[in-house]
Each structure stands twice: as C-alpha cells, then as structure tokens.
Amino acid sequence: MIERHLSCLSASGFHHVVYTEWPGPSGAPTLLCVHGLTRNGKDFDAIAENLSARYRVICPDMPGRGRSERLKNPAEYAYTTYAQDCVALIARLDVETVDWLGTSMGGIIGMMVAAQSGNPIRKLVLNDIGPYLAKEGLERIGSYVGLDPRFESLEAFEAAIRKLAAPFGPLTDEQWRKMAADMAEPKPGGGWGFAYDPRIADAFKAGPIKDIDMWPMWDSIRSPTLVLRGADSDLLTHQTAEEMTRRGPKAKLIELAGIGHAPALLSEDQIGAIRDFLLA
C-alpha cells in the first residue's frame, strides 16, 4: 500500500487529504472506500488487503480525520465539502468509473454522488446507512462525537473503544488493538486521544436532533446497490432497509445478526458478501 496526498479546495482555501492506495493488478477496476463520521481510512485495511487481488483500492481520510488536514472553518465540515473532495479524488485517479463502499457517513456521501446525473459510480455498497436516519441513533452518536478526552495510555484508550464500539460486533483482541491504534493519536504533553478534529461535531450542536429524510435522493440512484445492516442498528431501521429494496435502485439487503451500528467489515462473511456483490 502507498500513502498519497491530494490538495482540495473549499471556501477557506486549500486543504490536504491523505489517502492510501492498494494498487492491485494492472488495469484493475477501482474501489473507493469512505469511512464513517469519526473514523478514518484505516478502517478498510482488511478489506483492501483482501480485495486488492482484484481491485485497485483507495481509502481516504476525510478532512479533519486521521492523517488529513483539519479545516480552518469548522462550518465546512459538511457533506458538500466531503462530496467535492471525493469527486476531486476520483478525478486524480484518472478513471471513468469507480465502485463505492461507504460506512455510515461514507455511505451518505456515496448516495449523494450516485444520485447525480452522469455520476461515475458503477456499484454502490452501503454499510449500515440509508436514506432515512432514525433520531435515536443520531442522538447516540451526538452524545459522544466531538468529545476530546485524554487517556494516559493506548491500553486505556483501547478499553474505552471496546465499550464505545461494542455494537460493531464480536472482534478478536488483535482486531480491537488495531482499531484502537488506528483511531488514536498522541496528544501534546502526553497521553492519547481521538484522531479527529472535535469540531466535526459542530453540526450536531447547531440545533435539535431529528429524523433525517433523504428518500428523494435515494429514488434518483440507479447504480446496483448492496446494503449491509447490523440487525441491532439504531440508525438504519429494519423498516427503512426493507423499503430500500423496493425503491430507487432496489438494493440487495444483508442483515447481520448480533451487530449494531456499524459492522466492522473485518470478518470473512462480511468481506465475502461485499466481494461477491462487486465481482458478480
């Protein structure tokens, strides 16, 4: 894998986006993997390693997350910025089409792009996200996003992540350790904290949290679509997921027992379902 950098433009000027490229075989199709709200592109290391035998896999850190630059104006932590950055990245990749895998926020960005006329998305995979977001799930996310706690050690950080990310499903000790290491960054003066700009939460603080309805956008999507849903998800309800199979692209739905928001995409059954859909 190779770390690369891209300059993107927003209203406040240029900002740098970092992405990892898994080159794959010569002439391989491109898979763009976009992470969730507080996460980063390292979430997709396992699936990238698996699929890079057949794909060129691209995993960006969205602005304010991971290795990418924090934005000067927190108001620009918005879906329009993220979509524009992803479109700039696709242009950099010099391809006519991409397949898109998006977890939570990354799936919303994917839906935004896929709903546009003439978009480059060939196939779309959504990980526990849809066009109707339940208030309860948004309130849970809003209760912790933007907090900036400091932990004395990486082990203490991992213990906190095991509680926070428990809905991701059963993971091995090795997987928990890697997840914690990927989500953490050393803090000035010592200790560890989350590898994101706390100001990404400003949108949650702008007003009361309520259900979000994006069905008109969904109905505009034509790309073949797979939806993975944690059966215990509080953000993507079973009712909404079922409706997604009947409207718009009429998605294929796979529900994963014993998992909430959002599946970690680390197990063979989850990776295999995505691989089978993309390669069909």
Q: How do the domains of the chain map onto residue ranges?
A: 2-134+212-279
The pTM of the full predicted model, rounded to 2 decimals, is: 0.96
Instruction: Pinpoint the alpha helices (H) of 62-213.
Output: 79-93, 105-114, 135-142, 154-164, 173-183, 202-205
Q: What CATH superfamily classification does 2-134+212-279 receive?
A: Alpha/Beta hydrolase fold, catalytic domain (3.40.50.1820)
Residue closest to 101 by CA, chosen among 93, 117, 113, 118: 113
Buried-state track 97-112, b at ≥16 Cβ within 10 A, e below 16: ebbbbbbbbbbbbbbb
The mean per-residue pLDDT over the stretch 66-75 comes to 96
Question: Average pLDDT over the chain, rounded to whole?
Answer: 95
Quick: pLDDT tens for 235-259: 999 999 999 999 999 999 999 999 9
The mean per-residue pLDDT over the stretch 213-222 comes to 98
Q: What is the pLDDT of residue 140?
A: 85
**CA gap 55, 27 in Å, rounded:** 9
- The amino acid occupying position 238 is H
Q: Say whether pLDDT at 37 is over 90.
A: yes
Q: Say if residues 71 and 63 touch (Cβ distance below 8 Å).
A: yes
Q: What is the pLDDT of residue 156?
A: 97
